[in-house]
Structure 1
Amino acid sequence: MEMKEFYYENGIRVSLFNLDHRAVPYHFHQSVSDMIYCAKGAINIELPDRHQIYHVPLGEVFQIPSKLKHRFANAMALGTPSRYVLMQLGEFDIEFVKNNKKMDALLEGATRFDYQQTNVYIENRKQDILALVEQFATNKPDVLDEEELNDVLIALKLFATHGVEARYPENALESA
């Protein structure tokens, strides 16, 4: 797994993850939700406390509410990489789960959901996100190659143009 953190200002955090077959560790956030765009391959979002796994294919978005334990895993065959762009709005926080074996056990026989279009909630940040598109297009972050930059630009445009300008509703994932 390779994480490229390259922007955290003005309450917006943007990073890019290249996944091999080592999953992002289980974690949760007290105050931010994770918005992802699957830029390469496919991503499984594992939610052990809910006994659920959501499959997010190439070109699709998904949002995980704050306070929900989760991790991101490569959903492709061994040896095939996946990539996602992550955006968070607000004051960043992260808490890692200490007992990964317990979390893995909760996923045994988990309900698997094929992707269904879901909303992402961008609060009132549409213009800020579009401004980032312009900024990154003009000044490529050093840590990104051209393909990764293109993925970030696509993700941010998608979040801005299709995002719901409201706070993330507490029950949004239940209706997914």
Structure 2
Amino acid sequence: MEMKEFHYQDGLRVSLFNLDHKAVPYHFHHAVSDMMYCSRGQIAVELPDTNEVLTVGPGQTFQVPHPNKHRFVNGAPVGTASRYVLLQIGTFDINFVPVTEDIAGQFTDRAATRVTDSTVYIEDRKSDISKLADHFEQERPDGLDSEEQGDVVAALRCFASHGLETAHPRGGHHS
């Protein structure tokens, strides 16, 4: 797994993850929601609080409202890399869940459900997200190659054009 964190300003945090078959550890947030955009492969989202595994395919988004425990796993066949862009709005915090082997065991061999509701809630930040996409289209962030740059721009444009300009309606509950 490779994480490239390249922007955290004015309450917008943007990162890119290239996933092999090592998973991001289970974690939760008190103050931010994870909004992810799958740009390559397939991402499985494991949600222990609701005992669900959801699959997100290329061009799709998904939001995990805080404080739900979750992790993102490469859901593509072994040997196939997957990539997602992560957007968080607000003050970043992360809390890792101890003893994750027990949690991971409940998802072993579990069939994933394809995401059908890919609504993300971008609060009042549509204009800021659009400006950030324009900026990254003109200037590649340090550490990203041109393909990753294109994926970040596509993700931000998707969040801005399809995101609802309101806070998540259920606050701390999975959508």
TM-score, structure 2 as length reference: 0.94
Residues 66, 172 of structure 2: 8 Å contact kept: no
Partner of 1:168: 168
Q: Give the superposed CA RMSD.
A: 1.6
- For each residue in 1:72-99, what CA deviation from the matched residue of structure 2 results, as whole angstroms up to 9, or x when unmatched? 0001111100000000000000000111
Worse-matched range after superposition: 162-171 or 26-35: 162-171
Superposition pairs of residues 28-67 of structure 1, within 5 angstroms:
28-67=28-67
1:55-88, CA deviations, whole angstroms, 9 ceiling, x for partnerless residues? 1011100000111000000011111000000000
Match of 1:117 in 2: 117
- Matched residue of 2:131: which SS? helix
Match of 2:153 in 1: 153
Match of 1:14 in 2: 14
Greater shift in the superposed pair: 115-124 or 88-97: 115-124
Letter in 2 for 1:92: F
CA shift at 1:117, angstroms? 3.2
CA contact (8 A) 1:51 1:111 kept: no
CA contact (8 A) 2:7 2:15 kept: yes
Partners of 1:52 and 1:111 within 8 A in 2: no
Gaps of 5+ in 1: none
Q: How far has the Cα of 1:103 moved from its partner?
A: 1.1
| Matched residue type, 2:87 | M
Q: State the percentage of identical aligned residues.
A: 49
Shift of 1:139: 1.6
Q: 1:111 Cα shift?
A: 6.7
Counterpart contact for 2:68–2:173, Cα < 8 Å: no
Other structure's SS at 2:49 match:
helix
SS in 2 for 1:159: helix
Question: How far, CA to CA, are the matches of 2:35 and 2:125 in structure 1?
Answer: 13
Closer/same/farther in 2, CA of residues 150 and 83 from structure 1, 3 Å limit:
same
CA contact (8 A) 1:61 1:118 kept: yes
Gaps of 5+ in 2: none
- Taking structure 1 as the reference length, what is the TM-score of the superposition? 0.94
Structure 2 residue 104 is matched with structure 1 residue 104: yes
Following superposition, the deviation at residue 112 of structure 1 comes to 3.2
Whole-Å separation in 1 of the counterparts to 2:162 and 2:172: 16
Residues 54 and 112 of structure 1 are in contact (CA less than 8 Å); yes or no, is this contact kept in structure 2? yes
Paired residues, number: 175
Q: Deviations over 1:105-153 (max 9, x none)?
A: 3335757321213210000000000110111112211110000000000
Contact 1:51 1:110 in 2 (8 A): no
Deviation at 1:41, TM superposition (A): 0.3
